Amino acid sequence: MRASAVLDWTEVQIPMSDGQSLAADYYLPEDWTSGPVILIQTPYNKNLVHLVGLPLGVGYAQETSPYAFVILDWRGRFGSIDAAYVGSPTTGEDGFDAVEWVASQTWCDGNIGTWGPSALGRVQYETARQHPPHLKCIAPLVAAPTYSYEEYYFGGSSRTEYIEQLDNLGFGMSTGIYAHPYDDFSWMTVEQYYDYMDEIDIPVLMIAGWYDHNIDLMLPSFTQLQMESAASVQEEHRLLVGPWAHGGNGTASVGSATQGQLSYPEAENMNTESVLQFFDYYLKGIQNGWLDSPVVKYFQMGENEWLSDDAWPPFSDDNVSLYFKINGELSAEIPATTDVLDLIYDPEDPSPTVGGPTLRNDLEQGPYDQAPSVESRNDILSFTTAPLSAPVQLKGQAHVQVTMRTDVADTDLAVRLCDVYPDGRSMLVCDGIFRLRFMNGFQETDEIALVPGQDYVVGIDLPNTAITFLAGHQIRVDITGSNYPRFNRNMNTGGDMYPDGNGDTLVSPLVAHDEIVLSTSSTNGSFITLPITGSFPESISEMASVQLEVFPNPAKDQIRVQFTGDFSNEMIRISDLQGKIICDKTVNAKMTAIDVRQWPAGQYLLSTRKSGSIRFTVE
| Span 67-110, pLDDT tens digits | 999 999 999 999 999 997 777 799 999 999 999 999 999 999 99
The continuous run of DSSP H or E covering 540 comes out as helix 540-543
Q: DSSP character for 277? A: H
Q: 188 Cβ partners below 8 Å, 6+ apart?
A: none
β-strands 205-211, 238-245: how paired? Answer: parallel
User: Looking at the structure, do residues 527 and 596 belong to the same domain, yes or no?
Assistant: no
Residue 594 located in a structural domain: yes
In this structure, are residues 429 and 357 in contact, taking their beta carbons and an 8 Å threshold? no
User: Looking at the structure, do residues 498 and 565 belong to the same domain, yes or no?
Assistant: no
Residue 575 located in a structural domain: yes
User: Looking at the structure, do residues 412 and 469 belong to the same domain, yes or no?
Assistant: yes
User: Looking at the structure, do residues 429 and 504 belong to the same domain, yes or no?
Assistant: yes
User: Looking at the structure, do residues 565 and 490 belong to the same domain, yes or no?
Assistant: no
Encode pLDDT of 382-418 as tens digits. 999 999 999 999 999 999 999 999 999 999 999 999 9
The domain in which residue 84 lies consists of 1-137
Q: What is the mean pLDDT of residues 216-243?
A: 97
Residue 312 located in a structural domain: no
If you average pLDDT over every residue of the chain, what do you get?
Answer: 92
Kindly state the percentage of the chain with pLDDT values over 70.
95
The CATH number linked to 20 is 3.40.50.1820
Encode pLDDT of 509-557 as tens digits. 999 999 999 998 878 899 999 999 887 765 443 444 457 788 899 999 9
> Where are any strands of DSSP class E within 291-440?
296-300, 305-309, 318-324, 330-331, 339-345, 381-384, 392-396, 399-405, 412-420, 426-435
Please calculate the CA angle 289-294-297 and round it to the nearest 5 degrees: 130
Residue 287 located in a structural domain: no
User: Looking at the structure, do residues 390 and 404 belong to the same domain, yes or no?
Assistant: yes
Give dist(CA 220, CA 202) in Å, integer. Answer: 18
Q: At what angle do helices 119-129 and 91-103 cross, to 10 degrees?
A: 80
The CATH number linked to 350 is 2.60.120.260
The continuous run of DSSP H or E covering 93 comes out as helix 91-103
What φ, ψ does residue 378 adopt, rounded to 5°? -100, 10
Q: Of 105, 137, 169, which one is at a domain's C-terminal end?
A: 137
SS3 587: strand
User: Looking at the structure, do residues 528 and 463 belong to the same domain, yes or no?
Assistant: yes
Sign of the dihedral through C-alpha 372, 374, 380, 382: negative
Encode pLDDT of 120-130 as tens digits. 999 999 999 99
Neighbouring C-alpha atoms within 13 Å toward the C-beta of 328: 13
Residue 460 located in a structural domain: yes
Q: Of 494, 510, 542, which one is at a domain's C-terminal end?
A: 542
In this structure, are residues 18 and 89 in contact, taking their beta carbons and an 8 Å threshold? yes
Provide the pLDDT for residue 585. Answer: 83
pLDDT(2) > 70? no
Strand partners of residue 570: 587
User: Looking at the structure, do residues 415 and 495 belong to the same domain, yes or no?
Assistant: yes
User: Looking at the structure, do residues 484 and 341 belong to the same domain, yes or no?
Assistant: yes
Q: How many domains does the chain have?
A: 3
Label residue 582 by pLDDT band (50, 70, 90).
confident
Residue 260 located in a structural domain: no
SS3 95: helix
Give dist(CA 455, CA 446) in Å, integer. Answer: 18
Q: 252 Cβ partners below 8 Å, 6+ apart?
A: 211, 244, 245, 258, 259, 260, 365, 366
Residue 574 located in a structural domain: yes
User: Looking at the structure, do residues 414 and 534 belong to the same domain, yes or no?
Assistant: yes
User: Looking at the structure, do residues 570 and 537 belong to the same domain, yes or no?
Assistant: no
DSSP count for the chain of H helices, then E strands: 10, 35
Q: What is the mean pLDDT of residues 263-276?
A: 97
Residue type present at position 608 = T
Least reliable range by pLDDT among 207-216, 466-475, 497-506, 518-527: 518-527
Residue type present at position 570 = E
Encode pLDDT of 480-499 as tens digits. 999 999 999 999 999 999 99
Q: Which of the listed ranges 54-58, 139-143, 585-589 does the model predict with the highest average pLDDT? A: 139-143
Give dist(CA 340, CA 327) in Å, integer. Answer: 11
Q: Of 100, 119, 137, which one is at a domain's C-terminal end?
A: 137
Residue 280 located in a structural domain: no
Provide the pLDDT for residue 4. Answer: 44
Kindly state the percentage of the chain with pLDDT values over 90.
80
pLDDT higher at 316 or 474: 474
Label residue 590 by pLDDT band (50, 70, 90).
confident
SS3 123: helix
Q: How long a stretch of residues is the chain?
A: 619
The CATH number linked to 606 is 2.60.40.3080
User: Looking at the structure, do residues 503 and 610 belong to the same domain, yes or no?
Assistant: no
Provide the pLDDT for residue 583. Answer: 87
57 CB neighbour count, 10 Å cutoff: 16
